[in-house]
Amino acid sequence: MNWLRIALRNLGRNRARTALASSMVTFAAGLTVFLCGLEDGVEASSVERGTSLFVGQLQVTRPGYDDRPRVSDTIPGLESALKAVARDPCVFSVTPRIEAFGLVFGPEKSTGARMIGLVVSSETLTTTLNRTVSEGSFLDDRDSAGALVGPGLARLLEVNLGDSLTFITQAADGSIGVGSFVVRGIIKSGDPGIDNRTLLVTAGGARSALSLSGAHRLVARTRDVSAAELTAKRLQAQMPGLSVLSWETYLNTVKIMMDLGRAYAFTVLLVFLLLAVAGISNVMIVSVSERTREMGLMMALGARGQYVFLTVLIESALIGFFGVLVGTGVGISLIALTGLTGIDLSAWSESIRLVGWPDVIYPRFGPVFAQGVIMTALASFAAAVLSGIFPAIGAARLEPARAMRQI
Amino acid sequence: MALIEIKNLKKTYSDHGVEAPALRGINLEIEAGEFTAIAGPSGSGKTTLLNIIGGLDRPSSGTVIVDGVDLSTLSRSALADYRLRKVGFVFQSYNLIEVLTTAENAEFVLLLQKVPKSERRARVYEILEAMGMAEYLNKRPNQLSGGQQQRIAVARAIAHNPRIVLADEPTANLDSATAAGLLDLMRAMNERYGVTFLFSTHDRLVMEKARRVVLLRDGLVVEDGRRV
């Protein structure tokens, strides 16, 4: 016989009450663990949506290029930079881009636009631009005259499939750069910057127009969006002469939404824990008051206050332990289950799109879960133990003779 | 020197400004090995006297010296230790811990004393066997009769070889035959292990089993009769 066994048997006296107290911890831990998985799912989906279309999860440029983009500021040592990025185990694919701002002319109209030259073979592995074609076809590396426009730009220039376009800007060598293209496709990406102000061409077509051989930007897709920042830091160390940024830097709004989501998840955890503390405290106070005589007897027989204190504390710790165990199991199972089936929120798609959530969320075991499951387990257990402290102190302070007179 | 020396012991309870004297000046000596009844009607101060000797309550004035130790000098934790080492208790009711078996209840004080398990079990088995209770080792209190529960309480009270066993109306909830049986058992344990027994009662049958009867009335000793 030991104190743990006594505590276990005490918990067995009123199993319904013990189950009720433990279920409060189970509920708090389970729901919070699940929320962490849900947040991981939302984050992965938001980042995926935000990065996969065009901007990618990693970008490499010459330092300062984004503050003041100049046609001549191409990446030095392009081939070795491409190899270094592609070699990183966290990188799935990388593609170079050539960029320039200038004037684009249709048969009748003209407007300011940016021209982006793509290497189609690697671009299709890195982004989903090729899936946004609504009319005609996507670019082909062998067709250096091919161009894509969005519906906005097509309307401004009054062009359709097969129409000719001319792009004029300052070339890398200072001369006037001119590119002649034919509209091969119309893309509908949903991104106003792309649909209204961008002319997509092949890398060959862009280089020819700009009289350059390199590229201004490398865009990469990582195997795990949450590892992008670390990968960027690692690559930056390898390529000190270049600027390597992850989506966390250049897709600031997504990052802010994620931080808000995490703050929300941890606020929920806090509220649930407070509810659990109140519930367990209540149960323990009732349990201790019912046993006042027995505790008085123990102390009359020579048990010190600290032993009685410990017995009550062990009981609440056991409630917490089982609650955390079951709750974490339930939370993990829910994540695994809904991770497969997805949670369809399309009925509220109007509202949830406003906060950047996808129509179907697939909860997953990501960084929020990894951090949250440990924090939840520790916090729930600590909350359960804390809940027992007040009643335990009350029990330890009992005067044995007086306690034994109580009914 | 007597095992218990009580000099001019007074105890007054006060409740919301109303004072109720329970003991008005008790002088008493109990020798080691005695089997003594503290008798008297309800409210005569029997339980208060036993509680003070047992270190469960403190006197308002006077001294209680047990085994050479003045109880008024002991701190709360030293009193707990005194109860643990030198006193065995048998109470009127709610005597056993509900979640523990017969054997675990009997060895509870030894557990508090951190006596090794094998030693605890051997000691408890010896006593329960001597009481004819060995077959109930693994029963829970709610599976035992009132008389059997009190026997287990006696076993617990003597298991750790205390200097005194204090029993507060141990037979109050028992029928007369069971009460007589319990008293015979206590006396047998008193003779077998040489433990001093001090018990309170207002039952004439119980008094007849005692070797010495100290009669209290209104917080004072009014008669002190010894028998052989």
Bridge partners, B7 (sequence order): B63
The answer to whether B79 contacts chain A (CB < 8 Å) is no
Mean pLDDT for A71-84 is 94
The answer to whether A4 contacts chain B (CB < 8 Å) is no
pLDDT in tens, A227-238: 899 999 999 999
Question: What per-residue confidence (pLDDT) applies to B205?
Answer: 81
* Contact: B81, A13; criterion CB under 8 Å: no
Chain B: closest CA distance from residue A315 (Å): 14
Cβ B107 vs Cβ B124: under 8 Å:
yes
Helix/strand/coil for A204: helix
Q: Side chain identity at A226, as an amino acid letter?
A: S
Give the pLDDT band (50/70/90) at residue A118.
Answer: very high
Mean pLDDT for A25-50 is 86
Q: State the burial class of residue A152 (Cβ atoms within 10 Å of its Cβ: 0-12, 13-18, 19+).
A: middle
Q: What CA–CA distance (Å, rounded) separates A286 from A263? A: 35
Question: What per-residue confidence (pLDDT) applies to A354?
Answer: 62
Cβ B55 vs Cβ B82: under 8 Å:
yes
Taken as a whole, chain A contains a residue count of 407
Give the pLDDT band (50/70/90) at residue A5.
Answer: confident
C-alpha dist (Å) from residue B140 to B28, B100, B149:
39, 6, 10
Single out the residue of A83, A186, A84 nearest to residue A129, CA to CA. Answer: A186
Q: Which residue matches tokens 């004037």?
A: A103
Q: How much is the pTM?
A: 0.70
Question: What per-residue confidence (pLDDT) applies to B216?
Answer: 95
Q: What CA–CA distance (Å, rounded) separates A363 from A130? A: 28
Bridge partners, B26 (sequence order): B9
Residue in chain A lying closest to B86 (CA): A302
Q: Pick B77's closest partner by Cβ from A298, A300, A304.
A: A304
> What is this model's ipTM?
0.89
Single out the residue of A130, A118, A126, A122 nearest to residue A58, CA to CA. Answer: A126
Q: What CA–CA distance (Å, rounded) separates A316 from A314? A: 6
Q: Which residue matches tokens 């323990």?
A: A284
The answer for A2, left when phi > 0, alpha when psi is -120 to 50, beta otherwise, is beta
Query: Count of CB atoms within 10 A of residue B204's CB?
Result: 9
Residue A407 pLDDT exceeds 60: no
Taken as a whole, chain B contains a residue count of 228
What are the strands of the beta sheet with B164-168, ordered from one edge? B87-90, B164-168, B196-201, B35-39, B212-217, B220-226
Query: Count of CB atoms within 10 A of residue B175's CB?
Result: 11
Which residues touch A257 (CB under 8 Å, ≥6 apart)?
A46, A355, A356
Chain A: closest CA distance from residue B227 (Å): 31
Cβ A149 vs Cβ A105: under 8 Å:
no
Chain B contact set for A12 (CB, 8 A)? 99
Percentage of chain A lying above the pLDDT 70 cut: 97
* Contact: B51, A302; criterion CB under 8 Å: no
Q: What CA–CA distance (Å, rounded) separates B85 from B66? A: 12
Q: How do strand A198-202 and strand A146-149 relate by DSSP bridges?
A: antiparallel
Q: Pick B99's closest partner by Cβ from A6, A300, A305.
A: A6
Residue A202 pLDDT exceeds 90: yes
Single out the residue of A333, A354, A335, A336 nearest to residue A345, CA to CA. Answer: A354
Bridge partners, A170 (sequence order): A176
The answer to whether A162 contacts chain B (CB < 8 Å) is no
Q: What CA–CA distance (Å, rounded) separates A45 from A368? A: 14
* Contact: B94, A307; criterion CB under 8 Å: no
Residue A241 pLDDT exceeds 70: yes
Question: What per-residue confidence (pLDDT) applies to A14?
Answer: 81
Cβ A209 vs Cβ A240: under 8 Å:
no
Mean pLDDT for A80-92 is 95
E strands along A243-308, which residues?
243-246
The answer to whether A11 contacts chain B (CB < 8 Å) is no
Single out the residue of A281, A234, A245, A266 nearest to residue A383, CA to CA. Answer: A281
Percentage of chain A lying above the pLDDT 90 cut: 49
Cβ A199 vs Cβ A216: under 8 Å:
no
Chain A, 292 to 311: residues with Cβ < 8 Å from chain B are 293-294, 297-305, 307
Question: What per-residue confidence (pLDDT) applies to B218?
Answer: 93
Question: What DSSP letter does each residue of B26-68 carry, written as one string?
Answer: EEEEE-TT-EEEEE--TTSSHHHHHHHHTTSS--SEEEEEETT
E strands along A203-355, which residues?
217-222, 243-246, 343-344
Question: What per-residue confidence (pLDDT) applies to A391?
Answer: 82
Question: What per-residue confidence (pLDDT) applies to B98?
Answer: 86
- Tell me the two tokens of residue B71: 């109880």
Residue A382 pLDDT exceeds 90: no
Q: Pick the most confident of A231-245, A247-261, A302-316.
A: A231-245
- Tell me the two tokens of residue A97: 């881009």
Residue in chain B lying closest to A1 (CA): B104
Cβ A332 vs Cβ B109: under 8 Å:
no
The answer to whether A312 contacts chain B (CB < 8 Å) is no
Which of B48, B79, B111 to mutate: most A Cβ within 10 Å? B111
Cβ B42 vs Cβ B201: under 8 Å:
no
Residue A205 pLDDT exceeds 80: yes
- Tell me the two tokens of residue A366: 């990501």
Domains and CATH numbers, chain B: 31-59+85-226 (3.40.50.300)
Question: What per-residue confidence (pLDDT) applies to A18?
Answer: 86
Q: What CA–CA distance (Å, rounded) separates B51 from B58? A: 8
Q: What CA–CA distance (Å, rounded) separates B178 from B182? A: 6
Largest CA distance in chain A: 104
Q: What CA–CA distance (Å, rounded) separates B52 from A123? A: 91
- Tell me the two tokens of residue A393: 């102190």
> Nearest 5 degrees, angle CA A284-CA A285-CA A291?
90
pLDDT tens, residue order, chain B (228 aa): 789 999 999 999 988 888 899 999 999 999 999 999 999 998 899 999 999 999 999 999 999 999 999 998 999 889 999 999 999 999 887 689 888 999 999 999 999 899 999 999 999 998 888 888 889 989 999 999 888 998 899 899 989 989 999 999 888 878 888 888 888 888 888 888 889 999 998 888 888 889 999 999 999 999 998 654
Residue in chain B lying closest to A400 (CA): B56
The answer to whether A13 contacts chain B (CB < 8 Å) is yes
Q: What's the alpha-carbon Rg for chain B, to the nearest Å?
A: 17
Give the pLDDT band (50/70/90) at residue A169.
Answer: very high
Single out the residue of A381, A394, A404 nearest to residue A288, CA to CA. Answer: A394
Q: What CA–CA distance (Å, rounded) separates A225 from A90? A: 9
* Contact: A301, B57; criterion CB under 8 Å: no
Give the pLDDT band (50/70/90) at residue A406.
Answer: low
Chain A: closest CA distance from residue B228 (Å): 31
Q: Where are the alpha helices (H) located in chain B, listed in sequence order?
A: 46-53, 76-86, 102-106, 108-112, 117-130, 146-159, 176-193, 204-209
The pLDDT mean for chain A works out to 88
Chain B contact set for A18 (CB, 8 A)? none
Q: What CA–CA distance (Å, rounded) separates B72 from B74? A: 6
Question: What per-residue confidence (pLDDT) applies to A1?
Answer: 52
- Tell me the two tokens of residue B220: 């004072």
* Contact: B83, A302; criterion CB under 8 Å: yes
Q: Pick B91's closest partner by Cβ from A13, A298, A404.
A: A404
Question: What per-residue confidence (pLDDT) applies to A394?
Answer: 82
